[in-house]
């Protein structure tokens, strides 16, 4: 009696004394995964292992990480802009007092990174 693997045309490779099935993951669309996607992958791999490996074996992990990357970048840039406008960190301040501008922008970016991590990456 043939197994389902054999019935659907599965093939084997002999390794030593054993026959191992030739398995491969489904192809995924190539999309850029940056720092946000990598943070999400690390978080899933270390804190939600079952979800991570389920998405990996279904071929959904790469697209999930790419989507997360895009969402996180959009939220990051939108919030940086909103915070800068709200706190009056302008191009004029940049021209008049560059050090103060850098301090304020670094502070804004740090706070926004925390928001993005809480809302998208570690959620």
DSSP code string of 48-64: -HHHHHHHHHHT-HHHH
CA distance 113 to 123: 14
Where in the chain are the domains?
40-123
Cross-strand pairs, 14 = 19
Taking only the tens of pLDDT, the chain with its 123 residues reads 777 777 777 888 889 998 888 877 666 677 889 999 999 999 999 999 999 999 998 889 999 999 999 999 999 999 999 999 999 999 999 999 999 999 999 999 999 999 999 999 998
End-to-end CA distance of the chain: 47
CA distance 45 to 24: 20
Burial of 69 (0-12, 13-18, 19+ CB in 10 A): buried
Q: Are 112 and 120 in contact (CB under 8 A)?
A: no
């Amino acid at each position: 009696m043939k197994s389902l693997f054999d019935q659907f045309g599965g093939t084997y490779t002999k390794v030593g004394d054993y026959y191992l099935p030739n398995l491969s993951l489904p192809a995924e669309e190539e999309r850029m995964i940056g720092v946000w996607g990598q943070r999400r992958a690390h978080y899933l791999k270390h804190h939600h292992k079952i979800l991570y490996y389920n998405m990996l074996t279904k071929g959904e992990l790469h697209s999930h990480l790419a989507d997360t990357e895009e969402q996180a970048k959009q939220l990051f840039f939108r919030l940086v802009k909103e915070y800068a406008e709200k706190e009056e960190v302008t191009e004029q301040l940049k021209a008049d007092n560059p050090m103060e501008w850098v301090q304020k922008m670094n502070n804004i970016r740090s706070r926004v990174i925390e928001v993005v991590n809480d809302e998208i990456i570690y959620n």
